[in-house]
Amino acid sequence: MPYICGRQVLHDQLLLNPPGPEGSKGRWSQRCDVISLPFFYFYNSTDMKFFIDTGNLAQIREAHDLGILNGVTTNPSLMAKEGIKGEDAVMQHYLAICEVVDGDVSAEVLSTNMDEIIEEGKKLAAIHPNIVVKVPMIKDGVKAMKWFADNGIRTNCTLVFSAGQAILAAKAGASYVSPFIGRIDDSNWDGVQLIEQISHIYTIQGYETEILAASIRSPLHIVKCAEAGADVVTSPLESILGLLKHPLTDIGLAKFLDDAKKMRAELAGVK
Ligand code: E4P
C-alpha cells in the first residue's frame, strides 16, 4: 500500500522513529517497512483486513467460505433486521457468529451512560475472546472506552464522522475507529477523504487505533479505502462479491472455454 508523505514529515519521523525491527514502534513501524528515497514512497506492511458488516449467519458463512474473511461487524439495526430479540438471543447470536469466524466480532452496546456502557460491555466481552465492544462516539462513550482500554477490553468506536472524533477515539485507547464512509457521502461530503485524513493523523501521531472503514456501499469504496490507508474495511456481502466482477473476465473466460471445447471436439473427430 504505497504512501506519499511530505518531506518534512518523513524527515521528522525518520529521526524520531527509524524503520526496521530495532528502531520502529507503533503505527509508524507498521506503515513503514520499505522506504525508497528520494520518492518518499512508504510501504504499509499490514494487509487490509476484510470484515463483513451483517448479522446474517448465512452471509457470514458465505464470506467465510471465500477464505478472505477476517472479522464481522454488527450494529443494532443489523441485529434487528435478523429478528434477534432479547438479551439472551442477542448473546447467543454473537456466540454463533464467533463460532463461524475466527476473527474480531464487533458487538454494540445500547447504553449511553458510562456506568451502563461499562456493565453492558463487560457482558458482551465475556461472550467470547474475539468480541470487540462497539461504543458510540459520545462523551460517556469516550470515558467508557478509556475504562475498557485500561481494563484490557477491546473497543470499536462507532458513529465517527470527523477527524476530531477519530483523534478522541485514539486518545481514549479504542482498538478500532469506524468512520462511516457511505453516510458521509450521502451527506454530500467525501467519506474516503476522511479515511485519508485520519490515516495521515494517526501516522504522524503514532496512534495504534486501527481505522475500520464502515458504511461501505460499493466495491469501489473498498478499493478507495485500501488506497486511502484503511486498516480494515467492513462491507456488506454484495460489495465484497462485487470485487470479483469484470465483464472482460466473463468474456475472456467464455472464449477460453469455447476454444477449449472446439479443440476437444476436433481431437474427438480425428480419432
Ligand atoms: C459498521 O460498523 C456500521 O454499523 C455500518 O457499516 C453502518 O452502515 P450503514 O451506513 O450502511 O448503515
Over the stretch 116-148, which tens digit does the pLDDT of each residue have?
999 999 999 999 999 999 999 999 999 999 999
Question: Which pLDDT does position 218 carry in this prediction?
Answer: 98
Distance CA 256, CA 259 (A): 5
pLDDT confidence of residue 52: 98
Instruction: Tell me the C-alpha distance between 203 and 171, whole Å.
Output: 14
User: Which residue has the CA at smallest separation from atom 11 of ligand 1?
Assistant: 215
Predicted TM-score (pTM) of the model is 0.85
SS3 (DSSP) at 231? coil
Residue-level pLDDT at 45:
52
Distance 254 CA to ligand 1 centre (A): 37
Ligand 1 shell residues, CB under 6 Å = 53, 73, 75, 158, 178, 180, 182-183, 214-215, 234
Distance 53 CA to ligand 1 centre (A): 7
Question: Do 178 and 191 touch, CB atoms closer than 8 A?
Answer: no
Question: Could you tell which of 51, 52, 75 is best to mutate to test the pocket of ligand 1, judged by most ligand atoms within 8 Å of the CB?
Answer: 75
* DSSP class of 180: B
- % of the chain surpassing 90 pLDDT: 81
What atom of ligand 1 comes closest to residue 75's alpha carbon? 4
Q: Got the DSSP string for 89-109? A: HHHHHHHHHHHH-SSEEEEE-
204 burial (CB, 10 Å; 0-12 / 13-18 / 19+) is middle
Q: Where are the alpha helices (DSSP H) in 126-246?
A: 139-150, 163-171, 181-186, 191-205, 219-228, 237-242
User: Distance, CA 54 to ligand 1 centroid (Å)?
Assistant: 9
Mutate to test the pocket of ligand 1, among 51, 104, 160, 180 (most ligand atoms within 8 A of CB): 180
> What pLDDT is stored for residue 29 in this prediction?
43
Q: How confident is the model at residue 270 (pLDDT cuts 50, 70, 90)?
A: confident
**How many Å lie between the centroid of ligand 1 and the Cα of residue 183?**
8
Q: Is the pLDDT of residue 3 over 60?
A: no
When pLDDT is averaged across residues 35-48 and rounded to a whole number, the result is 55
Distance (Å, whole) CA 56 – CA 44: 32
**Average confidence score pLDDT of the chain:** 88
Q: Is residue 28 scored above 50 in pLDDT?
A: no
Please tell me the distance between residue 214's alpha carbon and the centre of ligand 1 in angstroms. Answer: 6
Instruction: Report the pLDDT averaged over residues 91-101.
Output: 97
**Is 134 a residue of the active site?**
yes
Structure confidence at residue 269 (pLDDT): 86
Checking if the pLDDT of 66 tops 90, the result is yes
- For residue 48, is pLDDT > 50? yes
pLDDT of 15 above 80: no
Q: Is 232 helix (H, G, I), strand (E, B) or coil?
A: strand
42: burial class by Cβ within 10 Å (0-12, 13-18, 19+)? buried
Q: Is the pLDDT of residue 91 over 80?
A: yes
Among 36-45, 57-66, 178-187, the range scoring the smallest mean pLDDT is: 36-45
Q: Would the pLDDT of 74 be above 70?
A: yes
Per-residue pLDDT at 170: 98
What is the C-alpha separation between 159 and 154, in angstroms, rounded? 17
Pocket test for ligand 1, best of 215, 217, 218, 222 (most atoms within 8 A of CB): 215
pLDDT above 70 as % of the chain = 83
Question: Residues near 212 by Cβ (< 8 Å), separated by ≥ 6?
Answer: 51, 73, 156, 176, 177, 178, 179, 230, 231, 232, 233, 234
Distance CA 148, CA 141 (A): 10
Instruction: Report the alpha-carbon distance of residue 53 to residue 266 in Å, rounded.
Output: 49
Sign of the CA dihedral running 230, 233, 238, 240:
positive
pLDDT above 50 (res 193): yes
How far is 37 from 51, CA to CA, in rounded Å?
A: 34
Distances (CA, A) of 121 to 11, 63, 80, 231: 42, 27, 19, 24
